[in-house]
Amino acid sequence: MDDRTFASSRSGTEQREFSALGTTVTVATTCGSAIDTAESILRAELNAIDRACSRFRVGSEISRANLANGYPVVVSRLLTDVISSSLRVAAMTDGAVDPTVGSSLIALGYDRDFDDVLSRRHPTAKRLRPARGWRCIEFDARRQVLRIPKGVVVDLGATAKAFAADRAAERIAEVTGSGVLVNLGGDIAIVGRTPKDGWSIGLALACTTPPEDVEVVVAVHAGGIASSGTAVRAWRNGDREVHHIIDPTTGDSADTCWQLVTVAAPSCVDANAASTGAIVWAAGAVDQLGEMGLPSRLLRHDGSVVMLNGWPEDPDGFSGPKAKAA
pLDDT in tens, the chain (326 residues): 333 333 333 456 899 999 998 888 999 999 999 999 999 999 999 999 999 999 988 899 999 999 999 999 999 999 999 999 999 999 999 999 999 999 999 998 887 777 777 777 766 767 889 999 999 999 999 999 999 999 999 999 989 999 999 999 999 999 999 999 999 988 999 999 999 889 988 887 766 666 667 778 889 999 999 999 998 888 888 888 899 999 999 999 999 999 999 999 999 999 999 999 999 999 999 999 999 999 999 999 999 999 999 998 755 433 334 445 55
Q: At what angle do helices 35-53 and 157-176 cross, to 10 degrees?
A: 150
CA distances from 314 to 219, 280, 297 (A): 11, 25, 10
What is this structure's pTM?
A: 0.90
Q: What radius of gyration, in Å, describes the C-alpha atoms of the chain? A: 19
Domain residue ranges in the chain:
4-325
| Residue 241, number of CB atoms within 10 A of its CB | 13
Torsion angle, alpha carbons of 74, 49, 269, 180, to 10: 140
Sheet containing strand 145-147, edge to edge, reads 73-74, 145-147, 138-140
User: Cβ distance 252 to 104 under 8 Å?
Assistant: yes
pLDDT of residue 80: 98
What homologous superfamily is domain 4-325 in, according to CATH? Answer: ApbE-like domains (3.10.520.10)
pLDDT of residue 258: 97
Q: Determine the straight-line distance between the first and last CA of the chain, rounded to whole angstroms.
A: 20
pLDDT of residue 325: 57
d(CA 131, CA 146) in angstroms, rounded, equals 18
pLDDT of residue 2: 36
**Closest by Cα among 303, 217, 291 to 259:** 303
pLDDT of residue 8: 39
d(CA 302, CA 39) in angstroms, rounded, equals 39
**Closest by Cα among 44, 194, 232 to 36:** 44
